[in-house]
Structure 1
Amino acid sequence: MGQKVHPIGFRLGVYRNWDARWYADKDYTKLLHEDLAMRRLIGSRLRNAGLARIETERSANQLTIIIQTAKPGIVIGKQGASVDALRDELERISGKKVRVTIHEIKTPELDAKLVAENVASQLEKRIAFRRAMKQAIMRTMRAGAKGVKVQVSGRLGGSEMSRREWDRDGRVPLHTLRANIDYGTTEARTTFGRIGVQVWLYKGDFVTATGEPILPGGAVQAPQPEEAPAEAAEPVAAVAAAPEAEAEAAAEPAEVEAPVATADAPVEVPEEEAAAAAAVEPGETEEEPEPEEDIDTDEDLVGALDLPDTEPAGTTKLGSTKRKPPAGRKPAPGRAKKVPEPEAELPEEEE
């Protein structure tokens, strides 16, 4: 019928190790049945502990059993009572000293056996098989898997004839030998009969001992040296001299530029200096600079500009009027402001 290869058996000895790591020449049949009996005992006693994998190792007088579980607290029990009882039964079956080692699985969503048991437990609770499959796939992909495929077969939904349904997300390359594909299967016991659950989980490609990925041609990708950033090529001497230059600049007092007064922006005198200037005694007056001569009259303005006398005959010259100082210039201290006299209205001449 179907020519499907077991994903774990397909990779044994190449990328994956055996679960039973021991060798026997004459007593192989006896030790094999003994191993199977111990696996059935552990599976029945720890049915709800989330068992993912059971590994066995044999030496001359000792048997080591490695249990990988998602719930180590159930396996150990209160103060180690459960694991001690399990060890005693295993020693009775094998007749040798048994050492039990428990490994915790921190991400059960990335283990195919545990995902299959989760789907089977939902089917036993009468949850729709499509909903159980989609929820398991969603959680597995969210945990970081690159692909997952779930298949259920049996009397789905209580139908008269059994059928097979499957769902997949991501990619599951079953023919790629270097692909790390985990496979798990279990059965759900329902009122309509048993429903088989199979899970293929693609975690990525296997890597070599150095941790480098394997290329499609079989070669190993060599690590590329990291390039130093261009900014790090600064000479060491310049970096060492930078703190000294900053210290010298901090030791020297900063020169403050004196403000320059302009016509548009006069210099504001602080209140403390103005109070000190007012407190000077009358006999100790400072010399005042001579004010610049202002061109006050219209005649002086005309003389300064050398304009010709173009006044028509018969006109009367108006009285000299003072020109207003610029808005930005302040009157000299000690000099009172002169109020310009109003211009006299001239009588109209009769023609």
Structure 2
Amino acid sequence: MGQKVNPVGFRLGIVKGWDSSWYGGKEFPDKLVEDERIRKYIQARIPKGSIARVVIERTLKRITLTIHTARPGIVIGKGGGEVDKIKEELKKITGKDVQINIFEIKRPEIDAKLIGETIAQQLQARISYRRAMKQAISSAIRVGAQGIKVRVSGRLGGAEMARTEEYKEGRVPLHTLRADIDYAISEAQTIYGKIGIKVWVFKGELYGKRDLSPAAQITAAQSDRGNDRGDRRNDRGDRRGERGGEGDRGDRRRGRNDQNRGGGAGGGAPRGQGGQGGGPRGGQGGGQRGGQGGGPRPGGGGGQGGGPRKR
């Protein structure tokens, strides 16, 4: 049943961590409802913030929110004013002190939630669903996803009867538990009704035991991003080395100049004085413009191979 179950819930405790990290006891239902209310409030409060996840941690007197966003500037606001307003509003809702951390998503093209929201916005703008899906897939593969699958369901293109269409590129191994698969659902409200969007993104396989706490996941993501940046710099340095080293380009230029000048046994010579191995303008066997001694162009006796030009 790997094809049917939610891929994130299927991998909880193996390669995926929880979005809510706290112990509720008898208050578990109330805290669960409050978490959902907080997430809906943040999504509605910052609709253009490109928010993918909101991780909630609770202590006895404090709630810590980690907002994963592709646009941290919009969430933070000018001088941090937007975050301060959200803190005060959430404090009124929950009755506890609220701390907000911002985590920037460096590659939104391979985040399933952001891909789904982008497709939903395009469908609401009456862009062809096929074009929107193919653009999202090509962007994800170009950025580094190993596989992606997108499925849309509803009255596609304003058709009378609802249907489902799916596009896939690469591999998406839903049965492999160590596979890092991101999954999300989005909805597009069109004039014909709602269109559901499901996105699966396969980012690679993870080996070894992992620390699934929210803080550890953020640290791991930051270290991976630093390694990727270092690899790109090393590649750029190699390309510079290949370009700036002893390449063939300079040798070819020097050889071409030597040929034009008429090279002798030890190198190029002036135009009328071809050496033993002379080029096209003078040589031992009489080139086009002179013979062994190769006299100057207007006059002078030619060598064994020919005399001066006749005018």
Indicate the TM-score class for this superposition, using the shorter chain for normalisation. Answer: 0.5 to 0.7
Partner of 1:159: 159
Matched, 1:199 2:215: no
Pair 1:193–1:146, CA change in 2 (3 A): same
Matched, 1:125 2:125: yes
Matched, 1:13 2:13: yes
Amino acid at match of 1:160: E
Partner of 2:79: 79
Partner of 1:69: 69
Pair 1:85–1:184, CA change in 2 (3 A): same
Distance 2:163 2:87 in 1: 42
Q: Deviations over 1:175-205 (max 9, x none)?
A: 1111110001110111111111110000000
**RMSD over aligned Cα, in angstroms?**
1.6
Distance 2:60 2:142 in 1: 45
Higher helix proportion (structure 1 or 2): 2
What does 1:17-166 align with in structure 2 at a 5 Å threshold?
Answer: 17-166=17-166
Partner of 1:188: 188
Partner of 1:280: none
Distance 2:66 2:173 in 1: 29
Give the secondary-structure state (helix, strand or coil) at the position aligned to 1:27: helix
Work out whether residues 3 and 175 of structure 2, in 8 Å CA contact, stay in contact via their aligned partners in 1.
no
Distance 1:135 1:77 in 2: 30
Distance 1:15 1:150 in 2: 22
The alpha-carbon deviation at position 78 of structure 1 amounts to 1.3
Amino acid at match of 2:43: G
Work out whether residues 141 and 147 of structure 2, in 8 Å CA contact, stay in contact via their aligned partners in 1.
yes
Q: Deviations over 1:221-240 (max 9, x none)?
A: xxxxxxxxxxxxxxxxxxxx
The alpha-carbon deviation at position 72 of structure 1 amounts to 0.4
Mark the runs of 5 or more structure 1 residues left unpaired by the alignment. 211-351
Partner of 1:252: none
Work out whether residues 147 and 169 of structure 2, in 8 Å CA contact, stay in contact via their aligned partners in 1.
yes
The alpha-carbon deviation at position 2 of structure 1 amounts to 11
Distance 2:186 2:48 in 1: 13
Q: Deviations over 1:103-132 (max 9, x none)?
A: 000110111111111111111110111111
Q: Deviations over 1:126-175 (max 9, x none)?
A: 01111110010000000011000000000000001110001000010111
Structure with more relative contact order (C-alpha pairs < 8 Å, separation 6 or more): 2
The alpha-carbon deviation at position 74 of structure 1 amounts to 0.6
Distance 1:65 1:101 in 2: 6
Give the secondary-structure state (helix, strand or coil) at the position aligned to 2:106: coil
Greater Rg over alpha carbons, structure: 1
TM-score, scaled relative to structure 1 = 0.58
Distance 1:188 1:142 in 2: 25
Mark the runs of 5 or more structure 2 residues left unpaired by the alignment. 211-311
Distance 1:2 1:27 in 2: 33
Aligned length: 210
The alpha-carbon deviation at position 208 of structure 1 amounts to 2.1
TM-score, scaled relative to structure 2 = 0.66
Amino acid at match of 1:23: Y
Distance 1:2 1:183 in 2: 13
Amino acid at match of 1:110: I
Pair 1:35–1:140, CA change in 2 (3 A): same
The alpha-carbon deviation at position 35 of structure 1 amounts to 1.0
